[in-house]
Amino acid sequence: TVQIVLEASAGALAKDEVKSARAGVSSAQAVLTNAQAQLGRVKSLSPEGFSPEAALDVATREVATATAHVLTAPAAPESTRPPM
């Protein structure tokens, strides 16, 4: 999990901004969990020939993108983050 240091800046942020930041991180982590699960499913089907190589590429890219969103979620204001 990603540890967030919201306490240090909580005095400067309004309570709703802190809640929004926490929600953004939780959302990003949920997207990452789903992407990792999808990648696992695709990988398990690939060796048996039930999944095209492109599906593996897409699932791998989705995990990388979701990981980046988790890492940047605490730093980026809600309005500047790309949609998930």
In tens digits, the chain (84 residues) has pLDDT values of 444 445 555 455 567 777 788 888 899 999 999 999 999 999 998 887 788 889 999 999 999 999 999 998 876 555 544 555
Q: Are 22 and 6 in contact (CB under 8 A)?
A: yes
Question: Token pair 């929600």 is at which residue?
Answer: 23
The C-alpha atoms of residue 66 and residue 34 are separated, in whole angstroms, by: 9
Q: What is the pLDDT of residue 41?
A: 93
**Total-model pTM:** 0.66
CB atoms within 10 A of CB 11: 6
